[in-house]
């Protein structure tokens, strides 16, 4: 059979199956993300059937999916809101790094994998998945919630930190000198600053170059600009997700409103492809030996993410339900964690079991995270929060004479 014909058959069957899974998930009140991941596992390496002809196509689609998820989040906020939220969330970003990177580093050292593996595993456990979190917020209708800017601020700080972390850890893994590592880090910092300045200072000019009255031209213009900036950012060792998010921030007014409507169907399509691809590249046979350590690590760091979001939301005056929503939403790890593990494997200088551990760890958090994010919407959880709010505060113990 001709390769393009097989590609059409595989992609068509996959998308049709995802449509059925999406409908099923909404009927049973579950996020479709876990079902998409399981579908990828079933048809990936080590699964029941391999989608060999369409894997490269799905890989490109998955990258577009993350980019669209982030540009859509950026369209919800202005440049002024971004700067204000980043300033107010800076302490939360520092707390996030301490609470979530240190457990990964300590875990690697306890396993006897050395300091280099500790630096890698620290990054894997530190950063949440922007793509998964964005999808969860959209699925649960929380994009306009009061705690959502707090969540986004933490994610953006993490992504900006990754722009500095990735070139640094790449230099460490490659064993290059201090000079080359410093140059890579300097390029990353300069790129982030330039993109931020352009987004904040010249966002109005970018919006005026696009017409909100011509849907076709607007769709092509916004999508092309987003992919262009994301690609340039990735080429300069900066997160493509950060570039896409800042494009969304730069657009404003009617252009942002109409672009949101036009891009929503594309976001849903490619976001589903992203989660499927994550499962496709995972071989289930590699995970059983490291499943128990991955589960322990996931339990610890999901707890620290919950604490991160809770404290960040409390700091800016968000109510008790919003604090829990913020903490639970940040639990999933994803694309960055896999990228970091891939860098370690390519270098060949760290413990080979780290990749399987990272894969199992990410799958546990990605599957359970979206399900746990629904807890604050459940009646029994709301009742528990009400009981906590109305419980009498115990009298302080009298001081001794």
DSSP state of 375: G
CATH number corresponding to 78-266+285-379? 1.20.1530.20
DSSP 8-class letter at 78: -
**DSSP output for 262-309:** HHHHHHHHHHHHHHHHHHHT--GGGSGGGHHHHHHHHHHHHHHHHHHH
| 229, 243 Cβ separation under 8 angstroms | yes
Task: Return the axis-axis angle of helices 320-329 and 148-174, rounded to nearest 10°.
Answer: 30
Compute the distance between CA of residue 26 and CA of residue 21 in angstroms, rounded to an integer.
Answer: 9
> Is the separation of the CB atoms in 302 and 91 below 8 Å?
no
Q: Which uninterrupted H or E stretch holds 108?
A: helix 79-110
The pTM of this model reads 0.72
CA 328, 159, 65: angle at the middle one, nearest 5? 80
Question: Can you give the pLDDT at residue 228?
Answer: 92
Structure tokens at 293: 């350590």
pLDDT value for 363 = 83
pLDDT computed for residue 325 by the predictor: 95
Instruction: Return the number of other C-beta atoms located less than 10 Å from residue 30's C-beta.
Output: 15
pLDDT at 109: 93
Mean pLDDT in runs of 10 for the chain (401 residues)? 79 90 80 79 73 79 84 74 70 90 94 89 91 85 88 84 72 66 69 71 76 86 90 74 78 83 89 80 77 94 95 91 94 80 70 81 88 90 84 54 49
**How far are the Cα atoms of 67, 229, 236, 246, 389 from residue 233, in angstroms, in the given order?**
12, 6, 5, 11, 46
Q: Where are the domains of the chain?
A: 78-266+285-379
> What own/partner pairs with CB < 8 Å and gap ≥ 24 does 295-300 have?
295/360, 295/364, 297/103, 297/104, 297/107, 297/125, 297/357, 297/361, 298/361, 298/364, 298/365, 298/368, 300/103, 300/107
Number of other CB atoms surrounding residue 145 within 10 Å: 18
Confidence (pLDDT) at 106? 95
* Predicted pLDDT at 283: 72
Q: What is the pLDDT of residue 244?
A: 82
Q: Is 269 exposed, middle or buried (0-12, 13-18, 19+ CB in 10 A)?
A: middle
């Amino acid at each position: 059979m001709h390769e393009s014909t097989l590609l059409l058959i595989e992609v068509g069957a996959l998308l049709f199956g995802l449509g059925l899974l999406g409908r099923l998930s909404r009927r049973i009140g579950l996020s479709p993300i876990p079902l998409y991941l399981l579908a990828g596992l079933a048809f990936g390496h080590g699964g029941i059937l391999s989608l060999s002809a369409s894997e490269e196509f799905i890989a490109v689609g998955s990258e577009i999916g993350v980019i669209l998820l982030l540009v859509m989040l950026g369209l919800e906020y202005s440049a002024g809101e971004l700067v204000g939220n980043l300033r107010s969330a800076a302490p939360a970003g520092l707390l996030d790094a301490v609470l979530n990177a240190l457990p990964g580093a300590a875990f690697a050292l306890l396993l006897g994998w050395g300091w280099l593996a500790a630096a890698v595993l620290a990054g894997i456990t530190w950063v949440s998945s922007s793509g998964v979190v964005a999808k969860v917020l959209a699925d649960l209708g929380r994009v306009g919630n009061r705690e959502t800017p707090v969540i986004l601020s933490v994610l953006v700080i993490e992504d900006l930190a990754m722009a500095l972390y990735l070139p640094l850890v790449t230099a460490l893994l490659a064993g290059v000198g201090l000079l080359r590592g410093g140059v890579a880090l300097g390029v990353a910092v300069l790129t982030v600053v330039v993109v931020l300045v352009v987004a904040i200072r010249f966002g109005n000019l970018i919006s005026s170059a696009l017409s909100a009255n011509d849907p076709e031209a607007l769709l092509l213009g916004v999508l092309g600009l987003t992919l262009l900036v994301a690609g340039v950012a990735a080429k300069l060792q900066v997160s493509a997700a950060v570039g896409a998010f800042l494009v969304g921030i730069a657009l404003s007014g009617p252009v942002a409103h109409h672009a949101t409507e036009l891009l929503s169907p594309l976001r849903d399509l490619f976001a589903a492809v992203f989660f499927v691809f994550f499962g496709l590249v995972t071989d289930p046979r590699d995970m059983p030996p490291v499943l128990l350590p991955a589960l322990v690590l996931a339990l610890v760091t999901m707890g620290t993410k919950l604490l991160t979001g809770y404290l960040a939301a409390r700091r800016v005056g968000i109510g008790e339900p919003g604090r829990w929503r913020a903490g639970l939403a940040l639990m999933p790890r994803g694309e960055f964690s896999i990228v970091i593990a891939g860098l370690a494997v390519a270098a060949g200088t760290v413990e080979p079991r780290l990749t399987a551990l990272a894969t199992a760890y990410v799958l546990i958090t990605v599957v359970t995270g979206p399900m746990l994010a629904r807890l604050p919407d459940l009646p029994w959880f709301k009742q528990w929060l009400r009981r906590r709010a109305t419980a009498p505060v115990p009298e302080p113990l009298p001081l001794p004479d």
